[in-house]
Amino acid sequence: MHKTFSTSSLGPGGLDLTEAFFKPIHSAAPPSPTKRHTKISVIGAGNVGMAIAQTILTQDLADELVLIDAKPDKLRGEMLDLQHAAAFLPRTKIHASVDYAVTVGSDLCIVTAGARQIPDESRLNLLQRNVALFKGIIPPLARYSPDSILMIVSNPVDVLTYVAWKLSGFPSNRVIGSGTNLDSSRFRFLIADHLDANAQDVQAYIVGEHGDSSVALWSSISVGGVPILSFLEKQQIAYEKETLENIHKAVIDSAYEVISLKGYTSWAIGYSVASLARDLLRDQRKIHPVSVLARGFHGIDGGDVFLSLPAQLGRGGVLGVTNVHLTEEEAQRLRKSAQTILEVQNQLEI
């Protein structure tokens, strides 16, 4: 398909006018070959993919942004729409193609593509179709960008992150799922809302599966550095466990509510993924609950499984998993969540 690039080929026959328009200064050296050039590729130009792309642009996270999709007309339309906003955005070259060759040399590849569920289709059949889809996505990404970080956003994210790891052949630290990063943001918002506080002052994690078997780590929640549950106990303030469970249930149900109201989720996941991209590519070493290879953590065994744990992220991908304290009940729930994922995973043909 025809691609539009951010170049100055405006002269006759596509002549590059840059040299005529800008005169070099005397004794100038060429640009340093070590200067960092950041390239991000987004696979899937649907609602989620475009929300991620738009957020990446507005937050100035990339020098070059690539969009890949199977629908050339929609893809070109999305690319042009973003390019036409160039006067209002930081300078970023935007490319779009159905050919994965355009992703070559990407620092980060974000996969949002996924098959849509057919009426009355089983979850397993849908998942198997997504595995087939990934077989056409992950190998070319790995081939053109062998040193990149793979971030999977497509659902079910934990199982598909495992699939991407297997198909790519990448080391586990360079394959990450968006996991419960957004769930944890919703969790922090709800707690902050209960306390009339700022969500940025709340430290709280949802771990495990990005789904119904996720685990809220109540024992480690703090607000402004104050552990919530121990504070309530010291102040002899009564609370009901049911109240805590209701907040967790609201986190799980919140995505379904958004989907029932507007048909899909997009903006929150866009900000969530852009936050992960920034901390990865700028080596911020911040901690996010993302889907990582969890075997060996908190007694998780039975096979390779990806699920969300608080992990430190940097230029090398996952730098490590934080040694967060879990109560025995939380650890049991986490292991049960891992088993839920493994049961589905073991039925797949990869």
The catalytic residue positions are 210
The tokens of 256 are what? 């379904």
Comparing CA positions, the residue from 101, 1, 133, 112 lying closest to residue 54 is 112
Q: DSSP letters along 24-62, please?
A: PPTTPPPPPTTS---EEEEE--SHHHHHHHHHHHHTT--
Cα–Cα distance measured from residue 99 to residue 270, given in angstroms and rounded to the nearest whole number: 24
Q: Cα-flanking dihedrals φ and ψ of residue 29, to 5°?
A: -100, 155
Q: How far is CA 206 from CA 104, 133, 260, 290, 334, in A?
A: 35, 29, 23, 10, 10
- DSSP letter (8 states) at residue 210: S
Rounded CA gap, 88 and 322, in Å?
Answer: 39
The two structure tokens encoding residue 48: 């989620």
CA distance 161 to 294: 12
- Here the tokens at position 149 are 């970080």
Neighbours of 292 (CB within 10 A): 28
SS3 content of the chain, % helix, strand, coil (to 5): 45, 15, 40
Query: Nearest CA to 4 among 90, 89, 65, 87?
Result: 65
- What whole-number distance in Å separates Cα of residue 150 and Cα of residue 173? 9
**Distance of alpha carbon 55 from alpha carbon 302, whole angstroms:** 38
| DSSP codes joined into one string, 70-120 | S-HHHHHHHHHHHHTTGGGS---EEEEESSGGGGTT-SEEEE---PPPPTT
